[in-house]
Amino acid sequence: MLAGGAAALSPWGAAQAQTQLNRADPSILERVVPQAVEAPPTADPVESIALKVARPEAQTETRLANAIIVEGGGEIARSQFSETLVDYIGRDLTGADLKALSHRVADVARQAGYPFASAWIEPQTLENGVLRVRLDAGSLAAVRVIGHANARADHILTTALVTGRAVRREQLERAILLVGDIPGVSVKESKFVRQDGFGILLVTIAEDRLSAYAQIDNRGSKEVGPLRSTIIANARGLFRSGDEASFVVAQTPINPSEFLFVRGRYSAPIDANGAILSASASYGRAKPGGSLAPLDVTGESYDASVFYSKPIIRTRADSLWGTIEVRGLRSNQSLLGFPLRNDRIATLTGSLNGTARAGSGIVRGEVHLIDGLPLPGVTQEGATRSSRGDGDARFVILGYAAEWTAPLTGRVGVALASEGQVASRPLLATMEIGVGGPIFGRGYDYAERTGDNGILGSGEIRFDLGRAVPRLIDRLQLYGSVDGGYVANLRGGGGGGALLSTAAGVRAGRGKLGAMIEVALPLNADRFDTGKRNPRFSFRLSRLI
């Protein structure tokens, strides 16, 4: 009914008026605001780790061994050493042979998953022709963090690795990765040494306590934008080691009154296993121009959330996090000074997200279940000032997001991405899925079609030229894509549909600077802004500080 009232004062039909009002809703516009600092591509810091083990020297006199016994390292089955030992039984062993034998015994232990294992042969009489090889599977007496003092890194490494038992490879890998997950921390090297017979792990880290990111692009619409600017600032170690405060400000710089969004978030670790507790709050305001200016549409949104995240699996090859979030949202819109929309939503979200190796590439994905809580005061179906007359804040949404990137041959690679959701009932505007925007439907503005249910997809071919212009461009990539999606509303509601576009562009960077230029062509429907299928030109400039 309200969308129809707006249509009566505008050149659109009711469904298009509904969509135009959605695209001027700050709680929807905030979805395309960058939320994290984008760093230039770097190698995985874990890959640079070299585990250096100091091994005791073997004795040098020649010995004849009729039998060889490996002592120590009870964590490893003796049968695993059989193939190695048989090569040294029944022959004279020189000092070089004894040294090689101790190295091979240690290698067997490392292959069994004990990266700090070492073996040596002590001076002995070879009673009954039995040669005894001492094996230490590799326990740690201490961990020392060097390069930068960080109490959180110390706590994680000590808790995980200094246990009195031999360290397994997966323990080490998880602990090092958890240290790298500390905001602002990167692991540069890990070195194992022995001092006075005690195993000590030296971990070198670097830490960036302050960082910022700035971006400007033209992905806005005529009504809100098109120029948009975003600044993200992060500060770490404010109240305790491992915590982080972040602040996001986004606006339309040419006409700041058209759109303003601010968000603050504070996160802190709560144990040595990577669990994090965060709280955030945001405020958005939109007063669109363009075709909506005569209607004096004004929107405001308020959002607050608390969430808990914990790594379930953390390895170089596969990682999985579990997250639980409680969120409250309020979104208002007015038309010609009169209240138009007044949505109240409270949600509980459970999600799993992670990365894994898949074929020759890497897949990143998330699955989430959102429950609209039936609390007093939330918007219910039939409310006079809801964003949709049949929409309700009491719902269940099952959604996903996935991306697979992989090299094809030489400098050529591919990136495939998809998102989708299924809802249990008609939703309020801010919970709908939209097609159109910088990822799915690049030839269109964000959310030109919206719906309760939908599936989106994108396929991109990339050609990496690397340092195409030495001392001027560090990273250069050409790409082409086909992208779009289909969304639909339950109970025959309007505003849904399909969009399909194709795009080509260039991404470039030097150091902490980044840039993108793209031209996208709508394929199956006219653009809202122009009423035609003319190309959309986009750009982005960014700087990591």
CATH number at 265 reads 2.40.160.50
Same domain, yes or no, for 7 and 76? no
* pLDDT tens profile 144-192: 999 999 999 999 999 999 999 999 999 999 999 999 999 999 999 999 9
Same domain, yes or no, for 168 and 254? no
Same domain, yes or no, for 443 and 516? yes
Same domain, yes or no, for 187 and 326? no
Please say whether the beta carbons of 162 and 142 come within 8 A: yes
Give the separation between CA 277 and CA 308, rounded to whole angstroms.
5
Same domain, yes or no, for 247 and 184? no
* pLDDT tens profile 324-370: 999 999 999 999 999 999 999 999 999 999 999 999 999 999 999 99
Same domain, yes or no, for 325 and 411? yes
Point out the domain boundary residue: 157, 180, 208.
Answer: 208
Predicted confidence at residue 45, as pLDDT, reads: 41
Q: Give the H or E element holding residue 70.
A: strand 67-71
* pLDDT tens profile 211-234: 999 999 999 988 898 999 999 999
Strands 130-136 and 67-71, by their bridges, are parallel
Task: Answer whether residue 123 shows pLDDT above 90.
Answer: no
- Please compute the mean of the pLDDT values over residues 27-31 and round it to a whole number: 87
- Domains held by the chain: number: 2
Same domain, yes or no, for 183 and 217? no
Which residues have a Cβ under 8 Å from the Cβ of 526 and sit 6 or more positions away?
532, 533
Task: Answer whether residue 436 shows pLDDT above 90.
Answer: yes
Q: Return the CATH number at 100.
A: 3.10.20.310
What three-state secondary structure class fits 412? strand
Same domain, yes or no, for 70 and 92? yes
* pLDDT tens profile 55-114: 444 455 666 888 999 999 999 999 999 999 999 998 888 888 999 999 999 999 999 999
Give the separation between CA 146 and CA 204, rounded to whole angstroms.
5
Beta bridge partners of 13: none
Predicted confidence at residue 1, as pLDDT, reads: 42
pTM for this predicted structure: 0.88
Same domain, yes or no, for 166 and 252? no
The residue count of the chain comes to 545
Q: How far is CA 102 from the centre of its chain?
A: 43
Same domain, yes or no, for 301 and 161? no
- Nearest CA to 456 out of 494, 500, 493 is that of 500
Q: What domain range is 71 assigned to?
A: 36-208
Q: Where are the beta strands (DSSP E) in 108-238?
A: 118-120, 130-136, 142-146, 185-195, 198-207, 210-217, 228-236
* pLDDT tens profile 500-523: 999 999 999 999 999 999 999 999
Same domain, yes or no, for 15 and 85? no
Residue in the block written with tokens 């809580």: 373
Same domain, yes or no, for 24 and 113? no
